[in-house]
Amino acid sequence: MPATDPTGSGPRPLRVAVIGGGPGGLYAAALLKRLDPARDITVWERNAPDDTFGFGVVLSDETLGGIEHADPVIYRALQDEFVRWDDIDIVHRGRTLTSGGHGFAALGRRTLLGILHERCESLGVRIRFRTPAPPAAELAATHDLVIAADGVNSLTRDAHADAFAPRITTHRCRYIWLAADFALDAFRFEIAETEHGAMQLHGYPFSPDASTVIVEMREEVWRAAGFDACDEQESSERCAKIFADALDGRPLRSNNSAWIAFRTVVNDRWSHGRTVLLGDAAHTAHFSIGSGTKLAVEDALALAACIDEQPTLDEALAAYETERRPVVESTQRAAAASLRWFEELGTYLGQPPRQFAFNLLTRSRRVTHDNLRLRDPAFTDDVQKDFGCPPATPPMFTPFRLRGLELRNRVVVSPMDMYSATDGLPADFHLVHLGARALGGAALVMTEMVCVSAEGRITPGCTGLYTEEHATAWRRITDFVHDRSPGTAIGVQLGHSGRKGSTKLMWEGIDEPLPTGNWPLVAASPLSYRPGVNQIPRELDRAGLADIREQFADAARRAVRSGFDLLELHCAHGYLLSGFLSPLTNRRTDAYGGSPENRLRFPLEVFDTVRDIWPGDRPMTVRISATDWAEGGTTAEDAVAMARAFVAHGADAIDVSTGQVVAEERPEYGRSYQTPYADRIRNTLGVPVISVGAISSWDDVNSLLLAGRADLCALARPHLYDPHWTLHAAAEQDYTGPGAPWPLPYGAGSRKPPTGRTDAPKPRLTLR
């Protein structure tokens, strides 16, 4: 039986079983033993002491700092073995671009394991090599704590899947771990454009005479190249030949190396009774951000600390997961962005060399423009020159042209529903709201979705352009913007709510139907937004479709008279036109349903109608939902096809949003989480895109633009927090040029006010 009652209020666990002798499991064992020498700790490792897979391990300074604080003995041993370097080399079409100042530390995985073996043995931890661990349930019957550090293929996780609720995603590339018997002088990324497709090498030194070399490519490229029929030796030889320049003609060696597809592991829970998951058993993050061993070691640190700090095991395991989960989820988001970047590598190969290099370096969104400028200002300055930035001008303040409209910077105030109109009429609130944002420095200020009919409103508070009174009221606002903020453009977003209409104001209950006064809804198909909650819309017949087209046409004519500079057609977020585009909301069997081409038919008819009315020198954009975040819905490939169709019909830019199409969506929230969809459209089709979605800082904007992932960046919440967000971004970057002029009445506020006294006398003498 266990030595203690781990679910009660007794002492901390004394008998500990560790399944898996990788770095995470060994480090957890060493720390727990060091914290309490009375603990009885056993590590089960099915392999021999010298067996290891992979070659080099990269650790960050942050992780090393934690190790130094927790166990100086291990830290000193690691310090003696590290290979350190600062540069990243990116080879693009025969040209090598180097960025410095990054700071890496690496050592051999076998060396790391040897250090941990020695430390465990010196502390009295038993390691049972060549011994598969008993099942976790069996160990839990005789131990206070079972640490399952048994890797990505964790048997423990599989055996208790009902408790841990794992979700495992297999990705689209194949990769193989190899080694070269010489030290690269930088972290090297090299691209080989073969007859079968793009292949990439990730390489870095891990000892004075050895380097890790990972070769990766899309599954279809891997098969076309015949690697699926190659054994380990042949794979090594062929990879060495493909990347002969990087290797200077030297061979590659393997170590039980196999081509595998990366799998992202996520678990809803990390503990079950006395058993807890650690490292790859709990979570994985793509190797391209060097995170696997780092996360496992940091897990071990946190687990040991929580067990030491909390009075019971239940509380310790809850604290461990509470502490680590946000860190892991953030890392997994960064790793997912990096992974997808390499999956879509082929779309970036046509970029100019420096932009390609900057794009690669910032792919995970953890390295940004400002961060990279601190590391290597000369490299970043060169990228900015290639981008076309005037001297002393950040990327976000470079102008951009759409048809006859020149925008003085790349910032857009995103459309935001205000729910503050009466009978569709914009009034003083809208003048102040939009006028304040126009004075705040953004190049383009967008209205909320302006509805083309009373029945096309989302709520009774939504604005419209379905009467002449509406057009006159909007003219008052556009005149203010043009007169009081010269150089600022104002755009109108036209839309129809479809099946998501006749609901309460957002703060009264988002997407909740009105208690009284509901109006009938129409949609592509008679499907309610939430069955049993929202009303079932009427499916539009041919006459109904013609009426809707005419409503958009009338609204477009009024938009011209209202003085708007740009018109955007809202085909996103589950509203009427979006409802035609998604297979989840369009179940029609006529010419407007079924195939992607048929689902596009009505939105394109509306677009053509509006484009014919909208003046030829004024740009027109389209907002789409590039994914429904739901199984069976719109995919990233569908989004590219949609964008291609709208551009072919005359769209000047695609405003790329996601989701809000079906209530059962599961978005992957995170910083800039929607930008990869805009990136893909832009770099696949070569068309201008507006990127949206949790872009919160001017550093994000600069990074996205300079990497070629977006042409304009639309921000919503930051402009609610700070109407002068763009002007303040200029001030914080010491920019005073034409891309962000302060309105004359506000000129005295162009410097940040001091926040406290800074002129106090400084001490001159120290008395002892």
Catalytic residue set: 575
**171 is written with which tokens?**
């990705």
Nearest one of 275, 331, 365 to 63, comparing CA atoms: 331
For the chain, the first-to-last Cα distance in angstroms comes to 62
Query: In the numeric block, which tokens belong to residue 762?
Result: 């400084």
Tell me the HSE value of 540 on the side-chain side, using a 13 A CA sphere.
24
Q: 328: closest CA among 255, 270, 245, 370? A: 270
CA dist 18 to 22, 319, 468, Å?
10, 19, 74
Where would I find the beta strands (DSSP E) of 181-305?
187-194, 197-207, 210-218, 260-267, 271-272, 275-277
Backbone angles phi, psi at 343, to 5 degrees: -60, -35
Q: Which token pair is 443?
A: 């190049």
Give the CA-trace dihedral at 709, 712, 717, 718, to 10 degrees: 100
Coil, strand or helix: which one is 763?
A: coil
Radius of gyration for the alpha carbons in the chain, expressed in angstroms and rounded:
29
Shortest CA distance to 393 belongs to which of 742, 739, 743? 739
Interstrand relation of 489-495 and 566-571 (parallel, antiparallel or unpaired): parallel
User: How many angstroms separate the CA atoms of 51 and 153, rounded?
Assistant: 17
Other Cβ atoms closer than 10 A to 228: 11
**Closest CA relative to residue 64, chosen from 27, 100, 35:** 27
β-partners of residue 204 are 212
Cα separation, 263 vs 285, whole angstroms: 9
What Cα–Cα distance (Å) separates residue 370 from each residue in 141, 330, 365, 638, 704?
53, 20, 11, 34, 12
Q: Which helix (H) or strand (E) covers residue 469, if one does?
A: helix 468-484
